[in-house]
Structures are given as C-alpha cells and as structure tokens.
C-alpha cells in the first residue's frame, strides 16, 4: 500500500530523530533550550487564524475511510520541518473528534481551542530538523457550515445518490483533516480513500492503484506536485467516468453523475482542446492529469472550484447557454496555472488567481464569438471606483468575508488590471510576463509584489508605480490608450450596484 509504506518510512525517520534529540549527556547544554510554542496563525491579515507558525509541511498522507451513513474515520500523517525549536505547535482542525496524536512515533498531548489543535510532543522539536505528526480523527460529511453569499454548504457537498464531495476553498479544508491550512505552505499528498465496493472514490492527482478487502475497496491517489490545502479534493459517489488524451499524452479523466453521460460527456470532451489553447497562451500544463467533476448535489452550492487537477462544478452552470458555461470551463482550467501551480502567498493576493483566470476566460470568450474583450473591460472600468469603495483595492480586499474576498473587483477588476498592463507594455511583453510568471514560480506560493517586480523587469521601471496605483489605489487610474474611458461616480451608503454586480461574479454564478 503506497500510503502506508510512505507513512512507515516517515515515522521511522521521526523516531530516529527523537533518539538523537534525547541522547545528550548531563554535561551538555540542553538541545531544547529556547524551545517555544509555534504561532497559532501564519500571519495572514484577512484570516489571522489560518495556518500556523514554527514549521513547514512537506507531505501529507491522508487515509479517509467513508461509509454511506456519511460517517468517516480519517488518519493524517504529516511530514514537516521545524523552522524554530518547538515546545508545542498548532494544527488547524475544525472537525468533530480527535482520537489520538503521535509525534515522531510517540504519544503526544493535545488540546482543542476553537479551530486549533494544540499539540505538545513528548520531546521538543529542534529547528531545522524533520518531524512526523500522526493524527487520528473521525467525523461526518453531514457536518457543514454556511456562509453568504454562497447558497451551498462547506466543506462537504452531499449528492442525491448518497455520496459527497469536498469543496474547501478558502478556509474549510481543516474541517475535513488537520493541516497547516494556508496556501503559503504547499505540500505533496498521498490519498487512500476507502468506501464499500460499488462506489467510486476520487482525489487529486493520479490514480496509482486500487485494493479490495472484504466488502470495501481502497483507492490510492498521488499528487506529486505541491498543492495548497484549500485545493484538496476528496469525493465518493456513483460516478460515470470518461477519459481522453490531451496534449503530449496528458490523461484527462472526467467524473459526472451515473446515467448523465449523454448530457455531460460532450461537455467533458471539450477539455483536451481547451488545455491545448491554454498551453498556447502560457506554456505546458503543470500537472500529471486534469479533468472535471460534475456533482448532482442535494442542495445547489452555486459555484465552480479549481481543485488541483480536478475542477468541480455545480450542474446548474450547464443549464445555461453554452456561451455562459464554456468560458467558465476555461476559467477553472486557467487556475491550474494561476492559483494552483502558482499559489497566493497571502489571501489578499487572490486577484493573482481570479484576475488571471477571468482574463483567460474573457479572452477565450472573445475567440469563440461570445463577446468582445474591449467591451467587457470598458464596462468594468466604468464601475472601478464603486468597486474599490465597496470591496477595497484589487490587491487589498476590505475583509476575508467571502462576498468581499471573491467580489467582482477581484475577478473582473483583476482582469482589468491585466488589460491595463497589456495596454501599457504591449501585447508581446505582456505575453512574456505571463509565461515567465508561471515558469519562474511553478510550484511556489508568491505575492503581488513578486508579480510587480517581474512585470517591472520585463516592462521597464515605470511599470512599478503604474501597477502599484492599479492594485492598491482607492480610485481607478486612467486607462492607457483609452482617454475617452470614464468612471462612474461613487454612490454613498450601501451600494445596490455592488450587490447586483457581486451576484454575477463567477464565484457565485448559479445556473438554474
């Protein structure tokens, strides 16, 4: 079993480290001197409680055993490296119950404080050295939370056939498994998902094997490229599965409700050509596999989500005209480069995800004859000051509330920034910036200042103040080459325009 072999190796390594830690003679200064608890947050201004200080995670091994009554047993084994000497550390966890915690193979004390799991190992952990955490938990996929403006629950979506799927962006992954739940700390993953025979289990990455034991079957997946915790996909349902070959032999595997092949098969079949188009724009697809997953939920959740290697969709999208949903397919695909491979360093950098995905969505829509980019950008420009007043500057949202974090100013406003940059530096240099961004930072978590620096290096020194104004200014700068474009005045008080425009954001578009 791939996951368990990896787990055994990690625990063995961790125990060896513990022996070294404890072997100092009485004449030596304690190697544990100066050990202190790690911070309970990673330092994100919008989500102070997310992530944890004092360590970096390298790998997660997730063993998830599910039953049709929606209960599950879960074991997470984490390989991490201490960035300070730790007397204790936090994991993000908002799930139901914790059965046990072991650190480097030894039982550890633990306590729960809100959505934090505070772990005190038997021996402190030394800075710079690896350690292994093994946490056993249990819960139910019926345990959900709701947050406006989204109509559906987080993190678990129930399906009409009795299955479920995990949708955890931006801060709900730790309700399913303990983690350092922030995109700044990416890691590789192994999944072992167990369900009764007859169900199909799905996760990120590549299917590397299946094993049957009695009435249960375990599906093994490997996500070899680093992934943010908010992009983890775990699902069990009675799926119909189709596959096709994309560019350079890439496997494209798609999942949708059984019996719905006639409706969703042709939609899924568009994937290979869309990947080829995106590769023409920004370079080779960054992962081992891609596909889409369409649910038949008991309650519409109202969004599409770019889980790494497997974008997930509310079926309501596909009840609308193709001119509406086909560009959204490209939006979620573009995220595999912008937001997944290159992740945000802080959540205020989310425009780097959504602005880029919206840019390629709208560029593709124009190519297909579904609308013109220039008209869309001019309309967005007219709302620029109102959007900044309602939601904050493009790269500095007013809060982490989902309606603010995923507002139209991050999506269309972010795309407008890219349009302005192209107008300033020209199409050739803009294309160079885009391709270099995903090449240079592949597998990393980076921020807005990194993007400004790259654009400045390619586009010239005047780009830095230009982008700073566009991304952090409270008013909308003049649009290069379009002196006739105007911005509407800002309405005072609660903005009906903001409410209406936010409702059309791709984050909350619900087909009906």
Torsions phi, psi for 169 (to 5 deg): -75, 140
Confidence of residue 501 (pLDDT cuts 50, 70, 90): low
Lowest-pLDDT choice from 30-44, 216-230, 295-309: 30-44
| 1-21+34-234 topology per CATH | Immunoglobulin-like (2.60.40)
Q: What is the CATH number of domain 343-503?
A: 1.10.390.10
Parse the chain into domains and list their residue ranges.
1-21+34-234, 343-503
Q: For residues 354 and 417, is the Cβ–Cβ distance under 8 A?
A: no
207: CB partners within 8 A, 6+ apart: 219, 220, 221, 253
Confidence of residue 502 (pLDDT cuts 50, 70, 90): low
pLDDT tens-digit series, residues 448-500: 999 999 999 999 999 999 999 999 999 999 999 999 999 999 997 545 455 55
Confidence of residue 32 (pLDDT cuts 50, 70, 90): confident
Mean of all residue pLDDT scores within the chain: 91
pLDDT tens-digit series, residues 129-156: 999 999 999 999 999 999 888 888 999 9
pLDDT of 192 above 60? yes
| Residue 294 pLDDT | 97
pLDDT tens-digit series, residues 309-338: 999 999 999 999 999 999 999 999 999 999
| Residue 27 pLDDT | 47
Mean pLDDT, to the nearest integer, of 413-431? 98
> H or E segment at 450?
helix 448-459
Q: In 29-177, which ranges are continuous DSSP H helix? A: none
pTM of the model: 0.92
pLDDT tens-digit series, residues 373-403: 999 999 999 999 999 999 999 999 999 999 9
Length of the chain: 512
Q: Which residues pair with 75 in a beta bridge?
A: 63, 136
Mean pLDDT, to the nearest integer, of 264-286? 97
- pLDDT higher at 306 or 497: 306
| Residue 492 pLDDT | 73
Q: Which long-range contacts (CB under 8 A, 24 or more apart) does 313-319 make?
A: 314/152, 314/510, 314/511, 315/257, 315/511, 316/510, 316/511, 316/512, 317/509, 317/511, 318/263, 318/264, 318/267, 318/294, 318/511, 319/511, 319/512
Mean pLDDT, to the nearest integer, of 57-84? 98
With vertex at residue 484, the alpha carbon angle to CA 482 and CA 490, rounded to the nearest 5 degrees, is 105
């Amino acid at each position: 079993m791939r996951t368990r072999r990896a787990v055994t190796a990690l625990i063995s390594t961790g125990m060896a480290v513990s022996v070294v830690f404890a072997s100092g003679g009485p004449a030596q200064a304690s190697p544990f001197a100066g050990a202190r608890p790690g911070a309970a947050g990673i330092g994100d201004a919008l989500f102070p409680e997310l992530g944890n200080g004092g360590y970096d995670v390298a790998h997660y091994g997730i063993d998830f055993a599910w039953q049709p009554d929606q209960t599950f047993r879960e074991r997470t084994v984490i390989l991490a490296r201490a960035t300070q000497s730790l007397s204790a550390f936090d994991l993000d966890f908002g799930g139901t119950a914790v059965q046990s915690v072991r650190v480097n193979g030894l039982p550890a004390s633990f306590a729960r404080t809100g959505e934090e799991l505070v772990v005190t190992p038997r021996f402190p952990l030394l800075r710079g050295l690896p350690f292994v955490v093994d946490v056993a938990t249990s819960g139910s996929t019926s345990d959900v939370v709701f947050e406006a403006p989204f109509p559906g629950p987080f993190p678990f979506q129930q399906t009409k056939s009795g299955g479920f799927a995990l949708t955890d962006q931006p801060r709900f992954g730790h309700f399913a498994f303990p983690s350092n739940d922030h995109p700044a700390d990416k890691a590789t993953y192994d999944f072992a998902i167990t369900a009764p025979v007859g169900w199909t289990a799905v996760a990120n990455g590549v299917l590397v094997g299946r094993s049957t034991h009695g009435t249960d079957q375990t599906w093994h997946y490997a996500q070899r490229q680093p992934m943010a915790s908010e992009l983890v996909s775990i699902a069990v349902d009675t799926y119909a599965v189709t596959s096709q070959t994309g560019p350079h032999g890439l496997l494209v595997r798609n999942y949708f409700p059984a019996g719905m092949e006639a409706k969703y098969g042709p939609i899924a079949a568009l994937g290979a050509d869309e990947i080829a188009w995106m590769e023409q724009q920004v370079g080779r697809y960054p992962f081992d596999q891609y596909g889409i997953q369409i649910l038949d939920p008991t309650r519409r959740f109202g969004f599409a989500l770019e889980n790494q290697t497997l974008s997930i969709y509310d079926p309501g999208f596909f009840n609308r005209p193709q001119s509406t949903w086909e560009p959204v397919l490209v939006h979620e695909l573009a995220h595999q480069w912008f937001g997944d491979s290159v992740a945000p360093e802080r959540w205020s950098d989310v425009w780097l995800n959504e602005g880029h995905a919206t840019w390629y969505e709208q560029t593709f829509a124009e190519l297909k004859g579904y609308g013109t980019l220039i008209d869309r950008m001019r309309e967005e420009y007219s709302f620029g000051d109102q959007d900044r007043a309602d939601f904050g500057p493009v790269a500095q949202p007013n809060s982490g509330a989902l309606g603010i974090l995923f507002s139209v100013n991050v999506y269309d406003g972010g795309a407008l920034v890219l349009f302005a940059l192209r107008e300033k530096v020209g199409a050739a240099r803009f294309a160079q910036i885009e391709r270099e961004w995903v090449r240079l930072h592949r597998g990393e978590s980076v921020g807005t200042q990194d993007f400004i620096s790259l654009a400045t290096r390619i586009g010239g020194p005047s780009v830095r103040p230009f982008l700073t104004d566009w991304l952090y200014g409270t008013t909308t700068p003049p649009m290069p080459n379009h002196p006739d474009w105007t911005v509407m005045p800002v309405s005072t008080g609660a903005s009906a325009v903001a409410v209406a425009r936010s409702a059309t954001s791709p984050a909350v578009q619900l087909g009906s």
